[in-house]
A and B are shown apart, each in its own frame.
Chain A
Amino acid sequence: MTATTSRRFQAPISSSVKPPGGFFQEKDLIDGNRVIDFHGHSGRMDSFGMVDKPELMLHAMDKAGIDVACLFHIFQPDGTTSNDTNARFIAQHPDRFVGFAYVSPTMPQRMLPELARAIDMLHFVAIKLYPPYTPWPFNQAEWFPIYEFANQRGLAIIFHTDSYPTNRPRFLADIAPLYPRANFVAGHSGNTQEARAEAIAAAQAYPNVYLETCSTYRTPGVIEQLVNEAGADRVLFGSDIPLMDPRPQLGKIITADISDEAKRLILGGNASRLLGI
């Protein structure tokens, strides 16, 4: 099975925002390609072994060949506390970590000011949203101001998606055409077979929908399915670091039965274009 890369690709709106410091470019750890992990966290969940020790994360990244990890902190609904925590973490290694902004519609009055602060002052480059921590499916109006902000700025938004009522990937097909300058990423690509089909359908229908790969399921053939049905230029490598070690998640891409060109796009080419980094 060989991936095609010919599906429609909408070039992201170039961001005027660049993070401080340069990104990791000297080594480009896998065969000279810069590898960008699109899905990572700062913060701790000790009962799951999720510990955001930089040395632990960098060791895993270096061993596998991951150059840059995109991180978000999602545990504080005011957004500000999470984003400041994330910024402090990233500041320890600004050449290896990139920040995504987090806000929640459970505190609607704070969403837009905090997004503007996180992007303009903290130099975060995209947005992470986590519908499971809210009562609202992400195609409902409570979320729309965030999408309008992303649309105006040409930013990417990554959602947690799965089979639960607030998180269905089919909602992407409701919002993507309304905000064509924003890009929408299905985190976990829906995780389960049924939800994954929704995510793929949304990516097939709209050029500003992308599919991110991290999942504890690691079902055989999923990476091949994403590439063959949505196109390699619409798939983004993610690991959920440090909830999950990035090495097996990277191994999903490396050991998938897809072309080298598809691997290059998934591992970093697509993320670089989408984030402008």
Chain B
Amino acid sequence: MPLHRPPRFAFGLSLAALVALAAIRPAAGQDAAPVDRMVKLDQYNRAAVELMFDSAATLGLPVSYLRSVVYEGIEKHADNRAIVRAVRKQFDLLKTARATLGAIDSGELSGAAAVLYAGARPNQLHSFRVQQKSQNRLEAFTVWADLLTRGVPAEDAFTGIEKLWADGADDATFLRLWKNVQSDILQGLNPGTALQNRIRETPVRASPQTVKPPEGQQENQSSR
């Protein structure tokens, strides 16, 4: 048997293998190579975070919300342990919000978690289990969390938001309240006082069933 045959065969086989590999790699790289930013976490903390993600997925909680917390921490150069602490905190808050409010959409759930994080008590969320026809918890929770973050006393913020909610306030009403209170705070008014004043000015709805705003108004709310 000629000795030069096997090397030629091996060369051909190697060439074929290289071609096969080349066929795989471009396919894997078609996604513009999304960067795995989780590698910035060390192995231990990454495992801890992934465990919480899996638990959240099992419970039907929005994993994307928790993942976003990790990315935020990485981008803000937070310590690994601080990131894990933040994720754990948000995970716990999501569970609490879900236990209190029941099955609501992920946006409302993350909004409720933000309210709890800002300083509201879980039992205060109970008032928002009941929802009138045109009401959306998302705007109420967003304004509530904002007020708490700006320094409105927790009890005042809850009382004001809860009153508007019970009165059937719509998104536009909450948005108007937020803008007015923010304006007052920027002008130097005490946050709690600003909220109380504006709550008093907010008209109570006569008929909560007629709260659905026109489409154009909804768009304006989003545009801020």
A binds B: no
> A: which residues have CB within 8 A of B?
none
